[in-house]
A and B are shown apart, each in its own frame.
Chain A
């Protein structure tokens, strides 16, 4: 069983984000970076599948600047076997160009399962997983909360409005992990020490054909000061009116 998990280095969810001087990237000063939490679910699932099968290989793949090696090693510390780092400079690329570089790397490699996080918490893009799967011609099931393997058949559960959709696909196949899929393990001290000794292949990321240009990053508008429209039940009509007409939330 060959499992590849694609991961991304993202700012910690508790980081205070400032837009950089170029208005296109975030200022990395004082920001802690972590393995994208949704990708962590994907890594955990890969490790569980391998452990249950008693054989196989889990590869962590990341595309990004030199720091992404540290993110890959987080996955190796959790127990993955090896890493692939598709290196590039500091300029970001769009979703399709990212997917093209990953697909170019994976094409021709032995692959049974390709796992992603459902989304990266930095840009909430949710696109790359489906794009890579499409480029590789793999079936893709997104936003899964349960994955069961039976021989060469995989059954995945995905939450839909008011219920669960159960999807069956033949391997090789691709999935993206949603919260609830599993509880990621904590890396052990021995795992952390072993991570640096595991193979980590570094190569330049293949050029892609970007179709989008990030024009500008901006801070959300400052929230207006809170208002108290009245007290008790007498205030309810006024509150309803504001919620309907001004805030437009009901």
Chain B
């Protein structure tokens, strides 16, 4: 087996963390090493999520960690980022699970929900007793969510939903779906739809070659009637779902660094122990160049995340700043995973090493939560003031 994971801190960024932040990071790192790593490959092969770990994650407070009150831990942005970094060091599917529950489901309920909605959902979600999912993307509306065709019509004191959502993490296991649909005034609003509501079904998307240890599926609404009070009362328009995505993308920027660190760690160990031509392959310049690239980009990505966390805690964070970090960190993580796969030679394609799993996962991470290209256009607009799309 490979040596235990110890993290990468080339720029002594640990010195910028508080003792609590380091303790949180080290505890989650230890949990991932001891509890998650021994089971991830079998779940990745089977295409299943390790459900038995959900109570442990909840017990530690990893679900809804940045939320204040409602049985949540109320962590700052840095600590929350470090948690997601460590979870994705394990697997992008594990981080996705925490992100969806926390940033895409609990966060909108906490931010836009009524007090009754918060009381009803947040404490059981923090305890892992209730799972959530987030329905925005549709089969024909991915990068252009504003074009959605899912409708919520008012009828006899109820909202009646019709439409379908696709590529939804936790679709088939969620107890509650935060669903975005257009109302009679063509306004996008958020609705809380409970599992088991007549007219609401879900279907798992099988045969993925990426994020295999994460459940993905479709949500189908066919004359699905929900009570009138199951809507977020005040938020209207695309800013509702987009503000949730800003939260989740923030976490992805951190998480991608975790995946990259896992690939780098495995690469360094492999380069030092694999002997060819009577020398460790890490002594060869072409491999050193790969490792130097990985170390440099991970360090830069860590600096981006840490500054982003400061801005988030100071409530100065702009969505385009999150776009920059998500776009950059996922891209370099994917590059690092590919280089790691290369450096591991033939061993890089089997799951004795984590690199091929991270590499395939990161293809999804590059695409979801705003594709790489869409974030490029966000930054292009920030630079020029001109929108490349409307």
Q: Which residues of A contact B (CB under 8 A)?
A: 12-14, 32, 70, 73-74, 77, 186-190, 192-193, 195-196
B residues in contact with A190, CB < 8 Å? 61, 73
Contact B61 A74 (CB under 8 A): no
Contact B61 A189 (CB under 8 A): yes
Of B3, B6, B30, B65, which is within 8 A of A189 by CB?
A: B65
A residues in contact with B59, CB < 8 Å? 186, 188
Is B343 close to A, CB under 8 A?
Answer: no
In Å, the complex CA distance between A187 and B24 comes to: 8
User: Contacts A186-B60, A189-B79 given: A73-B19 contact, CB under 8 Å?
Assistant: yes
Chain B contacts with A in 27-66, Cβ cutoff 8 A:
27, 30-31, 56, 59-62, 65
Is B238 close to A, CB under 8 A?
Answer: no
Contact A186 B73 (CB under 8 A): no
Contact B73 A70 (CB under 8 A): no
Whole-angstrom distance between the Cβ of B25 and the nearest chain A Cβ = 10
Of A32, A73, A188, which is within 8 A of B61 by CB?
A: A188
Closest to A196 in B: B20
Which 6 A-B residue pairs are closest in the complex by CB-CB distance? A189-B61, A189-B73, A14-B4, A192-B23, A188-B61, A188-B60
Is B75 close to A, CB under 8 A?
Answer: yes
A residues in contact with B83, CB < 8 Å? 189
B residues in contact with A188, CB < 8 Å? 59-61, 73
Can you list 27 A-B contacts with CB-CB less than 8 angstroms, sorted by A residue number?
Answer: A14-B4, A73-B23, A77-B23, A77-B27, A186-B27, A186-B30, A186-B31, A186-B56, A186-B60, A187-B23, A187-B60, A188-B60, A188-B61, A188-B73, A189-B24, A189-B65, A189-B73, A189-B75, A189-B79, A189-B83, A190-B61, A192-B20, A192-B27, A193-B20, A193-B73, A195-B23, A196-B20
Whole-angstrom distance between the Cβ of A144 and the nearest chain B Cβ = 22
In Å, the complex CA distance between A196 and B19 comes to: 9
Q: Which residues of B contact A (CB under 8 A)?
A: 3-4, 6, 19-20, 23-24, 27, 30-31, 56, 59-62, 65, 73-75, 79, 83
In Å, the complex CA distance between A171 and B79 comes to: 42
- A-B contact number at CB 8 A: 48
B residues in contact with A192, CB < 8 Å? 20, 23-24, 27
A residues in contact with B79, CB < 8 Å? 189
In Å, the complex CA distance between A14 and B2 comes to: 11
Whole-angstrom distance between the Cβ of A34 and the nearest chain B Cβ = 8
B residues in contact with A186, CB < 8 Å? 27, 30-31, 56, 59-60
In Å, the complex CA distance between A196 and B23 comes to: 11
Q: Which of A14, A32, A188, A189 has the most CB of B within 10 A?
A: A189
A residues in contact with B56, CB < 8 Å? 186
Whole-angstrom distance between the Cβ of B276 and the nearest chain A Cβ = 17
B residues in contact with A73, CB < 8 Å? 19, 23
Other contacts beyond A186-B27, A192-B24: 4, CB < 8 A = A77-B23, A189-B24, A189-B60, A189-B65
Closest to B30 in A: A186
In Å, the complex CA distance between A196 and B31 comes to: 22
Whole-angstrom distance between the Cβ of B271 and the nearest chain A Cβ = 16
B residues in contact with A32, CB < 8 Å? 6
In Å, the complex CA distance between A189 and B20 comes to: 9
In Å, the complex CA distance between A73 and B19 comes to: 10
In Å, the complex CA distance between A195 and B75 comes to: 14
In Å, the complex CA distance between A190 and B61 comes to: 7
In Å, the complex CA distance between A13 and B31 comes to: 16
In Å, the complex CA distance between A74 and B30 comes to: 13
Contact B19 A70 (CB under 8 A): yes
Whole-angstrom distance between the Cβ of A191 and the nearest chain B Cβ = 8
Whole-angstrom distance between the Cβ of B192 and the nearest chain A Cβ = 26
In Å, the complex CA distance between A95 and B56 comes to: 38
A residues in contact with B19, CB < 8 Å? 70, 73, 196
Contact B62 A189 (CB under 8 A): yes
In Å, the complex CA distance between A195 and B19 comes to: 11
A residues in contact with B30, CB < 8 Å? 186
Whole-angstrom distance between the Cβ of A125 and the nearest chain B Cβ = 24
A residues in contact with B23, CB < 8 Å? 73-74, 77, 187, 192, 195
A residues in contact with B75, CB < 8 Å? 189, 193
Contact B60 A14 (CB under 8 A): no
In Å, the complex CA distance between A186 and B6 comes to: 18
In Å, the complex CA distance between A188 and B57 comes to: 9
In Å, the complex CA distance between A195 and B23 comes to: 11
In Å, the complex CA distance between A195 and B21 comes to: 12
Closest to B35 in A: A186
Whole-angstrom distance between the Cβ of B251 and the nearest chain A Cβ = 15
A residues in contact with B6, CB < 8 Å? 12, 14, 32
Whole-angstrom distance between the Cβ of B253 and the nearest chain A Cβ = 20
In Å, the complex CA distance between A240 and B53 comes to: 48
In Å, the complex CA distance between A70 and B21 comes to: 12
B residues in contact with A189, CB < 8 Å? 24, 60-62, 65, 73, 75, 79, 83
